[in-house]
Chain A
């Protein structure tokens, strides 16, 4: 069954596969765990095709920094309703390391979190299929914000207070 997800404000069918799902399809865009990537890094690079990697909450984004150019997608996993490290991972990747690719929230992702995730730099969200429509609507929970941020995943501009201007807007 194809997986639906929310990307750039649209509900789309996922064109990426996790390693376990991709058996036999050598050309499919492939998402690896960090361990899978690290174990056979050179093989994956030699394979060609688009690559993605998923960070667990405890992983530091620093481990990916030397290899960022190889990834068209980076995922951050949320382990449960109180997990919050992914928000910082996303901002570091977007703002400091200027990661331009797809930044995907995986794991425990619900409509109540996607607005904050989008403001932190995520532009795609893997949610339970029954939650996707509500999550798409929840991207417009708020129409304003105080902080400067990326808002990468929001399909519209927020009305914003100029608490300060990010030097690298």
Chain B
């Protein structure tokens, strides 16, 4: 039987394991372009005030930034077809300055479009089943997920059909379009949490219930920003047909009771904290009594319809091999760091590193996008994924083709062998682009890369997550970095506060501030001192994070501030 991702007519041409628009999706996106075109026209004609237009454009991913508008395009749970990535490359070339920036929410941002061109960009995006709906503003944002969904061996169930269900349900949800503040949902189905779900407004975990059936554990109240908080369990087990009605209950309690008087206290985490999880849960469950009958109940037919879109591609029957054997050191390093296990023998998931030392983390040029699209067609069933760590992933690569793929990526500067290491850092656009930022982050990333350019040293440090934000809004997730760097403004100067011991996975924790912030030219030296303490004290296979957890902050702090780091 043909399912959603196979072309009809008996031709078994795989379209990429992703959701394809039908008439309803197409209609909505097209009508949205028309609506936004009219809103932009009214603003440019002076019929809409700056403030009124702000509320409207923000719901469509359009910020007015330091230099120019910034347009954020949604990449639903990080999945792109090669056609879509090619279209993004074309948009980067024709409307921007030849590049785009992938974000920690698996989306892409263009930093230089003209306001009056935005409706045309949206129209081009609609042609390839893309949009910028709800990529900003106080509404339900792009649902994020595990970039290894469907291919990772440690998965209970593929979360993508549920992500798509939530995407549709949350798109233009009439009740939740004017929330107190933005609202982010992450869904995972694996043992390891690669979507930072514990620091989301709502985390949805696929779990097996007491009756043996799959359902969901629902968490709420996590978040970063000024007040970082780890999410708490609202419901341990939710039968699957109730997912949307339960989310409606949570959203309704938040919409009605979340604070609207203070933007810094308006996220759901503040409501959950002020009520306490018990009372929050009681209110949600009481409201659920209403939404469970009046709200949507997910039918088995609908979730099956969505699941069919994510059918596995036509894998070949292949043995597992070691393609690194006998190859160059450079390839072996890349294969070790930039590829990861696949549940199907003979296959490997391959990271496309967007962390080249002299390039802003997450940035990619128009021609690189087109190249990755071509490589996806050739090596990975025409599908590309965006990771929340700001890299790309080709999820289904034959191990035997890894070498060819590496050569093509390496030639294009997309094979920096650093995934999961110190230099695979997460970084927001910072002061260079963002009007909110207090301090630069891209130039600090550059300084760090210059300091730690010895791969042997970086590899010896092992798994290390360095995350950097240019301001308290924490777009760079610094609170949950093993090492976090936060840009702060001190009397007009850019300074950096360092935290250690944060983590974003299933064992999520918030980092501890080591002490007074340091000047820009001291950041790399400070990191070196922290890493020295780790190297001197680590036991066996201990990661930096584990050593910090075992020893506490003190020895690290003592070393950093023993004498001026700027010596």
Provide the A39-71 mask, 1 if CB < 8 A to any CB of B, else 0: 000000000000000000100100000000000
Q: Is A143 an interface residue (CB 8 A)?
A: yes
Shortest B56–chain A CB gap in Å is 6
Inter-chain residue pair count (beta carbon < 8 A):
129
Contact of A87 among B172, B176, B260, B297 (CB under 8 A): B176
Q: Does A4 contact B (CB under 8 A)?
A: no
With A116-B172, A146-B171 as given contacts, are A164 and B24 in contact (CB-CB < 8 Å)?
A: no
Measured between beta carbons, the chain B residues less than 8 angstroms from A159 are 23-24, 27
A105 to chain B: closest CB distance in Å?
12
Q: Report the bound CA distance from A149 to B176 in whole Å.
A: 12
**Chain B contacts for A82, CB-based, 8 A:** 55, 138, 178, 260
Q: Is B481 an interface residue (CB 8 A)?
A: no
> CB of A119 within 8 A of chain B?
yes
Query: Which residues of chain B are within 8 angstroms of A88 by Cβ–Cβ distance?
Result: 175, 252, 255-256
A83 touches B27 (CB 8 A): no
Among candidates A84, A143, A161, residue contacting B31 with C-beta atoms closer than 8 Å: A143
Question: Out of A85, A113, A142, which one reaches B28, CB within 8 Å?
Answer: A142
Q: In this complex, what residue of A is CB-closest to B59? A: A112
Question: Is the beta-carbon distance between A163 and B165 smaller than 8 angstroms?
Answer: yes
Q: In the complex, are the beta carbons of A110 and B52 less than 8 A apart?
A: yes
With an 8 A cutoff between CB atoms, is B456 at the interface?
A: no
Contact of B213 with A by CB under 8 A:
no
Bound complex: CA A87 to CA B173 (Å): 10
**Choice from B35, B178, B293, B296 contacting A84 with Cβ under 8 Å:** B178
Task: Check A142–B31 contact: CB distance below 8 A.
Answer: yes
Q: Which residues of A contact B24 (CB under 8 A)?
A: 144, 146, 159-161
Contacts of A23 in B (CB 8 A): none
A contact residues around B165 at 8 Å (CB):
163
| In the complex, chain B residues 1-48 whose Cβ is within 8 Å of any chain A Cβ | 23-24, 27-28, 31-32, 35, 39
What sequence of 0s and 1s flags, for each residue 69-95 of chain A, a beta carbon within 8 Å of any chain B beta carbon?
000000000000111110111011001
Q: List CB contacts (< 8 Å) of A115-168 with chain B.
A: 115-120, 141-149, 159-168
B340 within 8 A of A: no
Q: Is A147 in contact with B169, judged by CB distance below 8 angstroms?
A: yes
A167 is contacted by which of B174, B175, B255, B293 (Cβ under 8 Å)? Answer: B293
CA distance in complex: A148, B297 (Å): 10
Count of A interface residues, CB-CB < 8 Å: 42
Q: Is B179 close to A, CB under 8 A?
A: yes
Is the beta-carbon distance between B299 and A165 smaller than 8 angstroms? yes
Q: What string of 1s and 0s marks CB contacts (under 8 Å) between B167-187 and chain A?
A: 011011111111110000000
- Complex: A83 Cα to B261 Cα, angstroms: 11
Q: Is the CB of A81 within 8 A of B52?
A: yes
Residue of B179, B245, B294 ringed by the most chain A CB atoms within 10 A: B294
Contact among B168, B180, B245 with A161 in the assembled complex (CB-CB below 8 Å): B168
A91 CA / B23 CA spacing, docked (Å): 27
By the criterion CB–CB under 8 Å, are B175 and A120 in contact? yes
Judge whether B304 is part of the interface by a CB distance below 8 angstroms. Answer: no
A116 with B294, Cβ < 8 A, contacts A110-B52, A144-B24 known: no
For the complex formed, measure the closest distance between the CB of B113 and the CB atoms of chain A, giving whole angstroms. 22
Which residue among A87, A119, A143 has the maximum number of chain B CB atoms within 10 Å of its CB? A87
CA of A146 to CA of B173, assembled, Å = 8
Determine whether the beta carbon of A87 is less than 8 Å from that of B31.
no
B 251-282 to A, binary, CB cutoff 8 A, 1 in contact else 0: 01001100010000000000000000000000
Flag whether B290 is at the interface (Cβ < 8 A).
yes
Task: Please determine whether B294 and A167 come into contact, CB atoms closer than 8 angstroms.
Answer: yes
CB-CB under 8 A for A164 and B298, given A87-B175, A146-B172: yes
The answer to whether B169 and A116 touch across the interface, beta carbons within 8 angstroms, is no
Q: Once the chains are docked, how many angstroms separate the CA of A92 from the CA of B288?
A: 12
Q: Which of A88, A116, A143 has most chain B Cβ within 10 Å?
A: A88
Q: Kindly state whether residue B460 has any CB partner on chain A within 8 Å.
A: no
Q: At the interface, yes or no: B302 with Cβ under 8 Å from chain A?
A: yes
Asked if A87 meets B296 with Cβ closer than 8 Å, knowing A143-B27, A147-B169, the reply is no
Counting CB contacts under 8 A, is B244 at the interface? yes
- The answer to whether B256 and A85 have CB atoms under 8 Å apart is yes
Task: Contact check, A163 vs B298: say whether CB atoms are below 8 A apart.
Answer: yes
> Given the known A-B contacts A87-B175, A146-B169, A160-B24, are A166 and B297 also in contact in the complex, defined by CB atoms under 8 Å?
yes
Report the minimal beta-carbon distance from B39 to chain A, rounded to whole angstroms.
7
B293 touches A163 (CB 8 A): no
6 tightest A-B contacts by CB? A84-B178, A164-B296, A119-B174, A95-B294, A116-B174, A146-B168
Task: Give residues in B with beta carbon < 8 Å to A.
Answer: 23-24, 27-28, 31-32, 35, 39, 51-52, 55-56, 138, 165, 168-169, 171-180, 241, 244-245, 252, 255-256, 260, 290, 292-299, 301-302
Q: List 12 A-B contacts (CB under 8 A).
A: A81-B51, A83-B260, A84-B178, A87-B176, A88-B175, A92-B290, A144-B28, A146-B172, A161-B168, A163-B298, A164-B296, A167-B292
Given A141-B31, A147-B296, A164-B299, 10 other A-B contacts at CB below 8 A?
A: A84-B178, A88-B252, A142-B31, A145-B174, A146-B168, A146-B172, A159-B23, A162-B301, A164-B295, A168-B293
